[in-house]
Structure 1
Amino acid sequence: MDVSIIETSGLGDRSYLISRDGIAVVIDPQRDIDRVLTLAESRAARITHVLETHLHNDYVSGGLELSRTVGADYVVPAGDDVGYPRRAAVDGDVIDAGPMRLEVLHTPGHTPHHVSYVLRDDAGAIHGVFTGGSMLFGTTGRTDLISAQDTEALTHAQFHSVRMLADRLPPETPVYPTHGFGSFCSATPASGDASTIGEQRRSNPALTKDEQSFVDELLAGLSAYPAYYAHMGVINREGPAPVDLTPPEPVDPDELRRRIEAGEWVVDLRNRTAFAAGHLRGTLGFELSDSFVAYFGWLYPWGAPLTLIGDSPEQIADGRRELVRIGVDRLIGAASGDIDDMRAGSPLGSYPTADFARLAEQRKTATVAVLDVRQRKEYDEAHIPEAANIPLHELPARLADVPAGPIWVHCGSGYRASIAASFLDRAGHDVVLIDDLFDQARKLGITSSR
């Protein structure tokens, strides 16, 4: 039995391809199914079943398209009202995939109809459990994505689902979650790269705390999640369109300038320090990294026309792949190459970068306005005294709240601050990007806490 992991680090998720004797089963596939097809081909395996643990809130599923492409059975939890034919998975079902059996366990919590799949061979031996957004490594899936009214009840359900898995499965059973590798679908940050039921019995709060303590702590720890989540369930319920990864139309400098002046979203994927050193005025900087797609989706006006700028066609292609995973399909063009060749005779914009040591020096001789774009809980734990706090996801609607004059902007690592700096620069602020780890501010002794 081979369990292959298909990592999607930009969303903090994993999909799985299980293969044995030329047969394969896929669990929770992302929308760019070419990765799955390539992996199945390398395993010389035919995909017979595609399984979903739940209707996903953080990405557009590739399950429907994959099942149609390869002629596989598409298995979706019963109770989810979807707009396409599928096999409804109910508690106790056994999915027969030749040399493999997958037992369905109803594990509500992350969503009401969420299921997990226990993997067995044809002799009945257990080879793992695929837990989706139920049991994660050292945590669980968050429970507030359905509605505020349902959150507490789903949190209690999550507690019992995780306990049921731990009670029914041997301690040596490998655990294969979908979320928990940086995904905002985790209730709290997950820990580790692999785990077993036995390890989770010792470390998972649903298994080490009493029910009310678990519920209270999970609810207190929930933080904001990306705005694009509101669209994922709708797309996955209706049935996603086939993925399109074709290169976008090239855009010349004059057309770029026209789109920028029209107020369209023109997004620069280059490194954040390169953007700070020189960019087309009016563009937004979203460095293409593991953090890119979640924060892009959080701030993007859903359905707006989008143009990308990048160092190379390959960077544009990588950006497009990230974007289609969350259903951003209205990519109307792109430009790549030397930024100086794209400016159509207009001067480039720029702003300085600094570190926390430089900020500390500045604060010795002058009053410095600081904007902290971390989330409120991060700010409350430790912050620079008198720094204004506007979380990044609130910034576009709160630009009027930004202090006047030169503003130094920071986050926890420099990534969120770089996005914020581009919004502030576009709005006409005199900005300094602090491209540094917040831990350095702590070490310099320039932080306090409430």
Structure 2
Amino acid sequence: MKVEQIYTGCLAQGAYYIVSENEAVIIDPLREVKPYLDRLEKDQVTLKYIFETHFHADFVSGHLDLSKKTGAPIVYGPTAQPDFEAIIAEDHQIFEIGNVKIKTLHTPGHTMESTTYLLIDENGVETAIFTGDTLFLGDVGRPDLAQKATDMTQEDLAGILYESLHSKILPLDDSITVYPAHGAGSACGKNMQKETVDILGNQKKTNYALNQPDKESFIREVLDGLTAPPKYFGMNVALNKGGYESLDDVMNKGLNPIPAEDFENFAEETGALILDTRSPAEFYKGFIPNAINIGLKGDFAPWVGSLIVDVKHPLLLVSDEGSEEEAITRLSRVGFDNVLGYLKGGFSAWENAGKETDEVRRISPEEFAAEFNENSKIIDVRKPSEYIAEHIDNADNRPLDAISDWVTSIDDSEHFFLHCAGGYRSMIAASILNSHGIRNFTEIEGGYNGIKKTEKLSTSDFVCQSKTL
């Protein structure tokens, strides 16, 4: 038997590949299925089942394409109602894969169809659980995402989650390995550990949610401090439940090179948003006016989902040459399938064609310290928990994920400095501000991490972030 965790850092997502004898299963696959097909071919095994722990909100699963390419059926837990053919397992139903077995444990609460899969080895020993978003390392799945799909409150769902954990998971042996669907950085939980694998016994000791004295305490603590989920989550659920376009077709449409001479007209005719995926260090020096910068080398897909929101919005890409396919793939992971093409030759082709360009004023932390005075206005676009932990005195915290709510309130007649933690998010904000005609600002390279090294500015006392979640 072989169990492999296939972890994708930019989504903080874990898929699982299990082989026994000449058969395999995959749990919660990503949208692009070629890596799984390559594994199957290399191992010379047949994919018997595709297990889905629930209808995912933060990414689009590869279950449909994988099933079409392999013939393997898709399996959901009890109460799931997908709009396509699938096996809807019963609670405690057994599936055989080679010499091992997988047992379904219906664990509603995060969503009502949420299911944990229990792996039983060749000797009949229960060895691992694949918990989806029911149980994370250090946390449990947020119980506020399924409210619109049910007539329940988040308190109701949290109570159901408590019962699922205490009746199905906590009675299992401490030695069982826990394989969650997500790790630190995912918006599906608030207190996840950086580790991606643990044993259940350690989680019973260290996971705050598993150490509450009663259901009421569990409900209160699990719901405390939850921020609003990203706005694209509901659209991803709909795609996972209702179906989506083949990734092959999405790729064929998106890999459409558009010459610089035609790019601007194409954008105007289609109403496409120009998404510049270059690094902040390249973007600020020059970019197509009104382009939005979300760097590919970062939490690209989640930020696209959070800020663009509408997965059907047409997109045109400006990317480093050779990275277009990666950008389209990562966009597809969160359901953004409507890429119409990319700038042929990259941004240098635009410059060489003599087209209009724009830029962002960016300065170093040392230059910021020299320019700063008591009348300076500062906008800090980090998360509230980061801001509370430590910030420049009198800085105004305006989180990036809420920029659509505050961008229209900015007074462009008053200059301000703009920063995040390291420069990635602040350049996204800078590009959005520019697209709204707001230009009287200066972005700080290296963000707060660089600013505090200057030791020339007054900052708040440090507060551990774990206390601010």
Query: Under a length normalisation based on structure 1, what TM-score does the superposition of the two structures give?
Result: 0.93
Alignment partner of 2:192 out of 164, 189, 201: 189
Distance in 2 separating the partners of 1:16 and 1:423: 37
Distance in 2 separating the partners of 1:63 and 1:115: 16
What displacement does 1:301 show? 4.9
What amino acid is aligned across from residue 222 of structure 2 in structure 1? L
Secondary structure in structure 2 of the residue aligned to 1:18: strand
What amino acid is aligned across from residue 263 of structure 2 in structure 1? L
What amino acid is aligned across from residue 431 of structure 1 in structure 2? F
What displacement does 1:338 show? 4.9
Alignment partner of 1:297 out of 299, 305, 315: 305
1:330 matched to which residue of 2? 338
* Unmatched 5+ stretches in structure 1: none
What displacement does 1:283 show? 1.0
What displacement does 1:67 show? 1.9
Distance in 2 separating the partners of 1:124 and 1:293: 41
1:290-312 per-residue CA deviation (whole Å, 9 max, x = no partner) reads 40000111111512211001111
Q: Does 1:142 align with 2:139?
A: no
Alignment partner of 2:420 out of 411, 417, 442: 411
What displacement does 1:75 show? 0.6
Distance in 2 separating the partners of 1:260 and 1:282: 11
2:467 matched to which residue of 1? none
2:22 matched to which residue of 1? 22
Q: Does 1:248 align with 2:252?
A: no
Distance in 2 separating the partners of 1:379 and 1:367: 20
Distance in 2 separating the partners of 1:286 and 1:198: 40
Alignment partner of 2:400 out of 392, 399, 402: 392
Contact 2:209–2:222 (CA<8 Å) still a contact in 1? Answer: no
Q: Does 1:233 align with 2:237?
A: yes
Distance in 1 separating the partners of 2:134 and 2:71: 29
Mean Cα deviation higher: 249-258 or 342-351 = 342-351
Secondary structure in structure 2 of the residue aligned to 1:227: coil
Contact 2:20–2:97 (CA<8 Å) still a contact in 1? Answer: no
Contact 1:424–1:431 (CA<8 Å) still a contact in 2? Answer: no
Mean Cα deviation higher: 388-397 or 115-124 = 388-397
Query: Under a length normalisation based on structure 2, what TM-score does the superposition of the two structures give?
Result: 0.89
Contact 1:13–1:182 (CA<8 Å) still a contact in 2? Answer: no
What amino acid is aligned across from residue 220 of structure 1 in structure 2? D
Contact 2:184–2:191 (CA<8 Å) still a contact in 1? Answer: no
Contact 1:309–1:334 (CA<8 Å) still a contact in 2? Answer: yes
Alignment partner of 1:438 out of 442, 445, 448: 448
Map of 1:151-300 to 2, 5 A cutoff? 151-211=154-214, 212-244=216-248, 245-246=251-252, 248-259=255-266, 264-300=272-308
Distance in 2 separating the partners of 1:161 and 1:413: 40
What amino acid is aligned across from residue 63 of structure 1 in structure 2? H
Distance in 2 separating the partners of 1:118 and 1:146: 24
Distance in 1 separating the partners of 2:139 and 2:38: 32
Distance in 1 separating the partners of 2:179 and 2:32: 20
Please list every run of at least 4 consecutive aligned residues from structure 1 whose deviation after the TM superposition is greater than 4 angstroms.
259-263, 439-443
What displacement does 1:260 show? 5.2
1:104-161 per-residue CA deviation (whole Å, 9 max, x = no partner) reads 1111221122110110124311231100001111111111111275211222232333
Q: Residues 225, 336 of structure 1: CA spacing in aligned structure 2 closer, same or farther, 3 A cutoff?
A: farther
Q: Residues 388, 130 of structure 1: CA spacing in aligned structure 2 closer, same or farther, 3 A cutoff?
A: same
Contact 2:7–2:13 (CA<8 Å) still a contact in 1? Answer: yes
Distance in 2 separating the partners of 1:88 and 1:261: 46
Map of 1:312-327 to 2, 5 A cutoff? 312=321, 314-327=322-335
Q: Residues 350, 202 of structure 1: CA spacing in aligned structure 2 closer, same or farther, 3 A cutoff?
A: same
Mean Cα deviation higher: 111-120 or 186-195 = 186-195
What displacement does 1:96 show? 1.8
1:447 matched to which residue of 2? 459
2:317 matched to which residue of 1? 308
Contact 1:138–1:191 (CA<8 Å) still a contact in 2? Answer: no
Contact 2:77–2:91 (CA<8 Å) still a contact in 1? Answer: no
What amino acid is aligned across from residue 113 of structure 1 in structure 2? E
Distance in 2 separating the partners of 1:369 and 1:123: 66
What displacement does 1:41 show? 1.8
What displacement does 1:89 show? 1.8
2:31 matched to which residue of 1? 31
What displacement does 1:411 show? 1.8
Secondary structure in structure 2 of the residue aligned to 1:168: coil
Contact 2:313–2:338 (CA<8 Å) still a contact in 1? Answer: yes
Secondary structure in structure 1 of the residue aligned to 2:101: strand
What displacement does 1:10 show? 1.7
1:64-107 per-residue CA deviation (whole Å, 9 max, x = no partner) reads 22123212121112212211121112211111223121111111
What displacement does 1:228 show? 1.0
Secondary structure in structure 2 of the residue aligned to 1:221: coil
Q: Residues 43, 35 of structure 1: CA spacing in aligned structure 2 closer, same or farther, 3 A cutoff?
A: same
Mean Cα deviation higher: 326-335 or 383-392 = 383-392
Secondary structure in structure 1 of the residue aligned to 2:50: strand
Q: Residues 187, 91 of structure 1: CA spacing in aligned structure 2 closer, same or farther, 3 A cutoff?
A: farther
Contact 1:13–1:181 (CA<8 Å) still a contact in 2? Answer: no
Secondary structure in structure 2 of the residue aligned to 1:368: coil
Contact 1:375–1:391 (CA<8 Å) still a contact in 2? Answer: yes
* Unmatched 5+ stretches in structure 2: 464-469
Q: Does 1:52 align with 2:56?
A: no
Q: Residues 23, 109 of structure 1: CA spacing in aligned structure 2 closer, same or farther, 3 A cutoff?
A: same
Q: Residues 177, 410 of structure 1: CA spacing in aligned structure 2 closer, same or farther, 3 A cutoff?
A: same
Distance in 2 separating the partners of 1:134 and 1:301: 25
Distance in 2 separating the partners of 1:181 and 1:66: 27
Contact 1:138–1:190 (CA<8 Å) still a contact in 2? Answer: yes
Q: Percent identical across equivalent pairs? A: 29
2:433 matched to which residue of 1? 424
Secondary structure in structure 1 of the residue aligned to 2:337: coil
